[in-house]
Structures are given as structure tokens and as C-alpha cells.
Structure 1
Amino acid sequence: MIVGVLALLCWHGAVQAQLVMRTGGLKPSQLALVINDDEPNSVEIGEHYRQARNVPAENVVHVRIPNHPRKLDAEQFRQLKEQIEAKLGPHIDAVLMVWTAPYAVECNSITSAFTMGFDPGVCEAPCGPAKPNLYFNAVSAHPQAEHGMRLSMLLPTDSVAAAKALIARGMASGFSVPTASAYYLTTSETARNSRAPFFPRAGLVPTRKLAIKRLNADALVNEKDVMIYQTGMARVDKLETLQFLPGALADSLTSFGGDLYGTGQMSSLRWLEAGATASYGTVTEPCNYWQKFPQPTVLLSHYLRGVSAIEAYWRSVAWPAQGVFIGEPLAAPYRR
């Protein structure tokens, strides 16, 4: 159910007071890996991830997607999804696709099409509302059983070394709770500030050693304790000056961050290259509905409760049809 703006404005302050609530998180046994046997990097990285995260061998699905396409049509995707799901048991609650591309299904993202089903209505009216996410702000530990949804994410594979470093960051996030900050930037690009009203109030969450900081700025510079970075810019500068902590989440409200190989705006891949562990972006023009992007308070509150990156990100987007989730899904810096 999509909560109205006024209700959310009242609600997010109450949620912030409950940030220390704890819940369980996704386990490796609940995760399936989908490896593209036509891409050598996918094969190598997929096996590395399986061993690093102790994903059961029976949870691995092999497919063939030749020629590294950015986009699939609806029929190509239907066949791919049927092939994957035929090999998944009822205990599988999430799927990690080990590739960078394909990342879109016509005007949908591949992750939303897999988890929620392909939505052709978005292609007819990309700047209109999209199908609501039943998992939005949910607390379910078993989305497949309770919502009929298997969460999905892409693990980019353009560089084996970069992918292994990303996996290492996700794993390192589980060892200790660092002193960290969550940064929320209201920028000069006014149209991209539509979720700023939902930024958490500035302050401290002592039990999580987290400082919440709100800034009026176009870029964060020289900060070394970044756990969350949410902003609204077509291109985000100064990423090379930052230090993202293991498990960090970062994204920008802009039209084409999920067009991972696009050049018109900053690709969400740049966040991972800068050191973030997971990110999100839209593959086609969504207009600036906050519902099509990670809602800041929902994302933070669930992450601080101890769930994984894939769970926190999927719970935070009310209308995710056009948005692709990327990164290391099992990162969980606050799971204890």
C-alpha cells in the first residue's frame, strides 16, 4: 500500500525514533545465483561469490545470454525468467544475476521485471504512476512465501577485480559496526529534490554509532565515514574524495542512473566504482516521482534494523518498475 505524502511526513519522524529495532536478514541459503555461461566474467565472479558467501551449489542457475545486450524484449525475458524459476525451490527469496547487462526489459528494469513481473503499462506512460511494490516498508523475512516476490539484484561483471573488491566490501560489512555518517543532500537541481522532504532529521543514533547529516550542497567532499549518501544530481562530483565504508548504500534521484552503459547522465555503476556496496537507478525516464526512488527514511530505518542491502533497498522503493538494483545483496553492517 502506498502511503500518502502527508502521512509519510508524520510517520517518518516516528520511524526515526525506532531505528534501533532489530530484525533478521536474508541468509545465503535463501539466495540463488544466476550465471551467464556466455560471459566468462560472470562464470568466474559467480563461482567466487558462491564460495565467498557459502551459497549452496544447488542454488546456482546457469543460463545463456549471448552478445551482452543492454535490453531484452518482453518475449526474450519471459523465456529467461521461466528458465530461471523452473530451477528455484520455494525456499529461494532472492536472486542475484551475475552480470551488468542486460539491465532492462523494454522500459522496465530487469530486476523489477523479475521480481514483480514485466509491466507494459509503464512503457505507454513512463511518467505516470507504476505498479505498487507489495514489499514496500514490509518486515517480511520471506518475501516469496508472503508476497509472491523473489527480490533481485545485479552484480556487475565488467571487471573481475572490481567485482571481487565489491564482494569483499559486502563481506567486511558483517564484522563490526563502524562509526559512520548518513549524508542527505538537497542540491541546486531543484527538480531532483522531490524526496528531500523525507530525509531523516539530523542527529545521532548512538546504538548504531551513526550520525545523520543533512546538507544544502551539490556534492559531498572529503568525507571518510560514508555509510549512506543520497542526493539528487544528474552527475555527482567529488566521489573520488570520499571513503565509503563496507556496506555503504548510495544513489541519486536522476532520470537515467540505471542506464548502466548510458552516457547522458551518471551511471549508478560510478557509485560502486567509488566504493559503495549497493546502489539504484532508473533505466528509463521516470519523471521525479519520489515513489520511483529509494525513500530515505524507509531505507535507513530498515538497514539499521539489520537487514541486508537487497532487502533494505527493495523495501524502500514504492514503484520500482523502472529501477534497477545493483551491488552485493547480502551486505548487512548492522546485523548482530
Structure 2
Amino acid sequence: MLISTRFAKIATLFSLSCLLSFNALAATTPTRLGPANLAVIVNEADPNSVEVGEYYLQARQIPPQNLIKVKLPTGKVKLSAWEFAGLRSSILPRLGPEIQAMVLIWTTPYAVECNSITSAMTLGYDAEQCKKTCDPGKPSPYFNSSVSRPYTDLGMRPTMLLPVESVEQAKALIDRGVFSSFRLLPSSAYLLTTSDQARNARVPMFPKPMQIAASQLSIQRIEADSIQDRKDVMFYFTGKISVPHLDTLAFRPGAIADHLTSSGGDLLGKAQMSSLRWLDAGATGSYGTVSEPCNYWQKFPAPSIVMKHYLEGETLIESYWKSVAWPAQGLFIGEPLAAPYASTQSALGP
């Protein structure tokens, strides 16, 4: 991962403005996305995709008309721009105006050239980014916004991928997302400054240590390469090629965790730790880039922003997407409707 420091001052100033909002979180939650607003896309050629898609509709009581079936070659990690154009054009005309977001129920494909498939589905394929992946990216209009209907207001549908390498693990992931709304438990956010300086680009975006009583959340900033034996993890943000001791941790339902590195979004790659390992360990959402991004903080989730929106009651897909300024290369994975800090009354209607 190459080092970029052009935006260090901007990151620090922006982080300060976000930190202030932690002390003034609203007692009531904003309107958020609900099951009626989510399209579920499955691959008919992949039995795991079909089975998990049907399970997800039932678990989240998603209207059956929100299920969209496509046919894709199985096992293909990356689509060409031409192949992706055909896929996207087969999906979008089938979505009604009530659909504000999408979830892709498969593991592969997860990339479109140098783009992630979740970003390409949301914003369209960005060919300019692929000319030089270490260049700055295009700003997302959704970044840190107060928008609750992204398609209605911005013409975009945030997309997340729900992996299905294992049907059992995919169903457990869905269950964690559903269970996240049942009971709020005392939890911690672990924000690590590691020995890997190039991958500490997000440290200026960390909120300060504090206790948020209303959310039963303890925010902890730690100087270490990893944590272990923690049983209350709701957030875990770090920067390393690989993160050890994940098997010693217990993640709360709805937990978000990721590591800033070059190719965490290359889910089946071997060069660096895959973001799938976070889900395997019990997290409900994670993120990684599918091509070399360099370490611009704008290409990764800003912890202060994702935490702010999540604590205000927004869903995982909303909070995570709103935290990435330049998302073209970033792959969002997990259960999109998890909302551990939301009341059941705050979901959008059709």
C-alpha cells in the first residue's frame, strides 16, 4: 500500500467536526430504510444464492416482488465493463421507485475491472478510476449526508454484497442482523493505532475515547496491533495486512469491523486478509477494496462517520455507505438492514 498524505489536514479538521456530534446524538432516530425498500438480487445459476435469498426474504419479511433473479457464471471473481453493463441494465428497469437500496446474494463476482461490484451497481462503472487506481476517486453524493431516500433524492441505490460461500454461515449472518434489533447490550468500539504507519491513515478520523450512556457504548482508542479476548465488540477499526486473534473475540449482533489495507475486498484472494474473515468471526458488516487504492482515508470508511450514523439509528448499509467519500474501489459486505440502535418505528414505508 502506497502512502498518500495530501489530505491529512482535511481529515483532522473533518474529524473534529464529527467528534462534536457524538456529544449531541438525537434521542429520537431518523427515518431509515426498511424491508420494503430493499431489492434482493440472486443468481439463478448458484443454488446457494437462491437458497439464501429465499431465507433472507422470510427472515426480513421482504416483499416477494422485491426478489430479482439474474443468471451469472459461477466462480468468476471479476466482470468486464461490458459484462457488467449487461447485468446492471437487466436489473435497474425491474426496480420500482420504492426500492432505495440493493443486496447482492452471492460471493462472486465481486469486482468490475478495478471497481467493486457494490459501488458499480450503486454509482455506475467508473472507468477513470481504473486508468490509475492510486488517483483520487470521484466524490459520493451520499457521503455523510442526511438523505434517508437515496434513490428518490440522489438517483442512487446503495448496494451491499451478502456472501454465500457457506449457506450455514450466510444464514447465521442474516440472523445476526435480525437479532441486532431485539436487545441493546453494553458494547465497545475498538479503534486501533497499529505499528503499520501506512495503514494508520484513518487514525485522524477516530472519535475520542468516551462513554455514550444512551447507547451503552464505550469508545476505546488503543495503540496495539490487535486485540484479543474481548467479548463486547460492536465496532473494530484497524489498519493491518492481516488481523490476528479474531477467533478470541465475541461480536455483538450488528457489529461493524474492517481493516485498512490494499486488497481486503479481494474476497477469495490470498495476498492479504480477506474481509470475509470478519464475517466468519461474527461481525455483521465489513469492507475492503478490490484494487490498489493507496491509503487515502477517503477510500475507506471513516470511523467517526459510520459510528455517528449507526448510533443515530440508521441501518448498516446507510451508515457504512455514508462513511466512504470515494467508494469506487470499495466492496461493502454484510447484512444491510442491521440496525442495533434503531427503534422499530423508524423504518421507511413503501
TM-score by length of 2: 0.94
Residue 316, structure 1, aligned to residue 323, structure 2: yes
Residue 289, structure 1, aligned to residue 318, structure 2: no
Distance 1:187 1:150 in 2: 34
Paired residue for 1:198?
A: 205
Residue 10, structure 1, aligned to residue 25, structure 2: no
Shift of 1:176: 1.2
Paired residue for 1:27?
A: 34
Shift of 1:12: 2.1
Distance 2:75 2:98 in 1: 30
Shift of 1:13: 2.3
Instruction: Name which of 189, 193, 197 aligns with 1:186.
Output: 193
Asked whether the 8 Å contact 2:15–2:207 carries over to 1, the reply is no
Map 1:164-243 → 2, pairs under 5 A: 164-243=171-250
Secondary structure of 1:139's aligned partner: coil
Instruction: Name which of 305, 317, 336 aligns with 1:329.
Output: 336
Paired residue for 2:156?
A: 149
Secondary structure of 1:86's aligned partner: helix
Paired residue for 1:252?
A: 259
Instruction: Name which of 73, 77, 81 aligns with 2:80.
Output: 73
Secondary structure of 2:218's aligned partner: strand
TM-score by length of 1: 0.98
Distance 1:291 1:168 in 2: 31
Asked whether the 8 Å contact 1:170–1:328 carries over to 2, the reply is yes
What runs of 5+ residues in structure 1 fail to find an aligned partner? Answer: none
Paired residue for 1:114?
A: 121
Paired residue for 1:304?
A: 311
Q: What letter is aligned with 1:160?
A: V
Instruction: Name which of 46, 61, 64 aligns with 2:71.
Output: 64
Paired residue for 1:261?
A: 268
Secondary structure of 1:4's aligned partner: helix
Distance 1:115 1:243 in 2: 32
Secondary structure of 2:235's aligned partner: strand
Distance 1:116 1:305 in 2: 25
Paired residue for 1:45?
A: 52
Q: What letter is aligned with 1:213?
A: Q
Matched positions, count: 335
Secondary structure of 1:129's aligned partner: coil
Asked whether the 8 Å contact 1:20–1:207 carries over to 2, the reply is no
Distance 2:244 2:34 in 1: 35
Distance 2:338 2:188 in 1: 17
Q: What letter is aligned with 2:34?
A: K
Shift of 1:84: 0.6
Distance 1:16 1:51 in 2: 35
**After the TM superposition, which parts of structure 1 deviate over 4 Å for at least 4 consecutive aligned residues?**
none
Distance 2:103 2:73 in 1: 19
Distance 1:80 1:48 in 2: 23
Q: Structure 1 residues 330, 146: CA separation in 2 closer, same or farther (over 3 Å shift)?
A: same
What runs of 5+ residues in structure 2 fail to find an aligned partner? Answer: 1-6, 344-350
- CA RMSD between the two structures: 1.2
Q: What letter is aligned with 1:266?
A: M
Distance 2:50 2:226 in 1: 37
Secondary structure of 2:192's aligned partner: strand
Asked whether the 8 Å contact 1:69–1:102 carries over to 2, the reply is yes
Q: What letter is aligned with 1:286?
A: P
Paired residue for 1:104?
A: 111
